[in-house]
Amino acid sequence: MDDKQLRVLLVEDDEDDYLLTRDLFREIKGSRFDLAWVRTPAEALKAIEGNDYDVCLLDHNLGECTGLELLREMLAKGCKAPIIMLTGQGDYGIDVEAMTAGAADYLVKGQVGAPLLERSIRYALQWVQALETVRQLNDQLANRVAELEAAQAQIRQLRGLLPICAYCKSIRNDQNYWQNLENYISEHADVQFSHGICPNCLEEVRKKEFPQSSNPT
């Protein structure tokens, strides 16, 4: 890990376990940690309100509730820091349940030394960064898919046979009403019309408006 000081929240109701965890952090070489300690689930939920912590260590046995219950509640309240579950005894079922619920790692207290704790925190931080990258890529992909679907919808709107009047060139729309050609296309495609007059029509208009000019003298 780099020289940045990492803020760690420890949720632990046993003071002796807190002291042991504090000593482990002091043994970690090359990293700086600011360890905050709270005892109860209520204090933990209050502490994460500002998302000020880089990582959380959560004891599984908290008396009034289990660490799994608090883990789910913390995530539901928007905790962005990775949460590492701590327990006094290894239990494969709890391990799997914790990881499924969203824990970044699961450590057995009696088996944790300073190197393992440091590595677990480092991997947890990398795991969160990877998840954030995946989330951003998924958002970009979803936006791109939405753009493509919108483009396909516009293309489909002008595909197929259009019932058009052979005389006035009006188009019958989906509601079975006859609609001006320009209005229909404007509603079904991202286009605007600029009006002019073609040479053939100009000649016809000139003949009608100025019949004398069409006859040579």
Ramachandran region, residue 63 (left: φ > 0; alpha: ψ -120 to 50; beta: rest): left
Domain with CATH 3.40.50.2300 in the chain: 5-132
User: Amino acid letter at 215?
Assistant: N
For residue 25, give every residue at least 6 positions away whose Cβ sits within 8 Å of its Cβ, in sequence order, or none: 8, 33, 35, 114, 117
Please list the pLDDT of the chain residue by residue as tens digits (217 residues).
556 789 999 999 999 999 999 999 999 887 789 999 999 999 999 999 988 999 999 999 888 788 899 999 999 999 999 999 998 887 888 889 989 899 999 999 889 999 999 999 999 999 888 888 988 999 999 999 988 888 777 666 656 667 888 888 788 877 888 888 778 777 776 677 777 788 888 788 777 777 766 555 5
Q: Which residues contact 51 (CB under 8 A, 6 or more apart)?
A: 78, 79, 80, 81
Q: Are 107 and 84 in contact (CB under 8 A)?
A: yes
In the CATH scheme, what is the code of domain 5-132? 3.40.50.2300
For the entire predicted model, the pTM comes to: 0.62
